[in-house]
Amino acid sequence: MAATVALALTAVIAAGLAVDGKREADRQTGRAVSGRLSTEADAVRPTDPALTAHLSLAAFQTAQTPEARGALIDSSASPYSTRYVTGGLTETTAWGSSPDGRVLTEGTAQGDIRV
């Protein structure tokens, strides 16, 4: 009887240690993935602010590390090249903007252009 109780207790302790080990492995994996996403966000920041925002948010949601938090804050400071504008041409088929983002143009299939 005592041997059975000791064996059951040993099994419960081993199961608890296995669960703790799995949780720690999952945390480490999350931190590693978050770090890679943060690094990728930093790499594309100069050329694609929208992708930077998505990657930064994904990094922060994966693991709330200081690197992910920094990438998310940095991405919120970048201007987006795409904005939704109301009151434009009704059949807009193309949008364009100047490199500095100050001038926006829109055009239709009929050849109308508005700056």
Tally of domains in the chain: 2
d(CA 65, CA 106): 41
Q: Same structural domain for residues 53 and 88?
A: no
Phi-psi region at 28: left, alpha or beta (left = phi > 0; alpha = psi -120 to 50):
alpha
Q: Same structural domain for residues 71 and 86?
A: no
Q: Same structural domain for residues 69 and 13?
A: yes
Residues in contact with 79: Cβ distance below 8 Å, sequence separation at least 6, in sequence order = 49, 101
Q: Is the pLDDT of residue 82 over 60?
A: no
Q: Report yes or no: 49 and 20 within 8 Å, Cβ to Cβ.
A: no
Would you say the pTM of this structure is higher than 0.85?
no
Q: Same structural domain for residues 56 and 112?
A: no
Q: Is the pLDDT of residue 94 over 60?
A: yes
Q: Same structural domain for residues 40 and 64?
A: yes
Q: Same structural domain for residues 61 and 36?
A: yes
Instruction: Pick the more confident residue, 101 or 2.
Output: 2
pLDDT, tens only, 12-60? 887 887 778 888 888 888 888 888 988 898 898 888 888 888 888 889 8
Q: Same structural domain for residues 111 and 92?
A: yes
Q: Residue 27's domain spans which residues?
A: 2-76
